[in-house]
Amino acid sequence: MNISEEMKNNIKENFGYNDEELQAFLDNPRNVDVLSKSLKLLGKTIIAEVIESHGCNSQHKVGDKFYFDGAGNLLTKLCPKKVCIYALSELDKLIHSVNELLYAGIDPNEMRFNQASCFDTGVKCGGWGNIVMELKVVDRNKI
């Protein structure tokens, strides 16, 4: 992939790299491969929807949705006012899997294990509450 000067400057600015760090970044073939496929990520939105909820201290309810851009950044303006860190922390592996599947040219909605649960075990097991979330990926323009 031929990387333009504009893209190099964008990488330097975004990551705060100096010239030496930029060169080290570009010398890694995996980074260049990811850059070549990054447009796919830009056009996607990752949604984690609450599909079960009972006793959630943060008041997350069935139907609540957490939105992320294709790179995995939480889109706070689209999310509930309160977002439980313990629920979000369980989504990192699924979002990473979405990225890897997109890089490999595979539809991430074909992922077999696309659900995650917050770590709270719920009142029946000595906790407070629990939610279960299901992940899907949609085109950004469909939000």
Same domain for 56 and 111?
A: yes
114: left (phi over 0), alpha (psi -120 to 50) or beta: alpha
Count of structural domains, the chain: 2
Same domain for 51 and 121?
A: yes
DSSP 118: -
Give the pLDDT confidence of 122-141 residue by residue, as tens digits.
888 999 999 999 999 999 98
Tell me the whole-structure pTM to 2 decimals: 0.87
Task: Give me the domain span that covers residue 34.
Answer: 5-41
β-pairing, 44-54 vs 130-139, is antiparallel
Same domain for 64 and 119?
A: yes
Same domain for 12 and 65?
A: no
Same domain for 19 and 73?
A: no
Give the pLDDT confidence of 8-67 residue by residue, as tens digits.
999 999 999 999 999 999 999 999 988 888 878 888 999 999 999 999 999 999 999 999
Distance in angstroms (rounded) separating the CA atoms of residues 32 and 103: 12
Q: Which H/E stretch holds residue 48?
A: strand 44-54
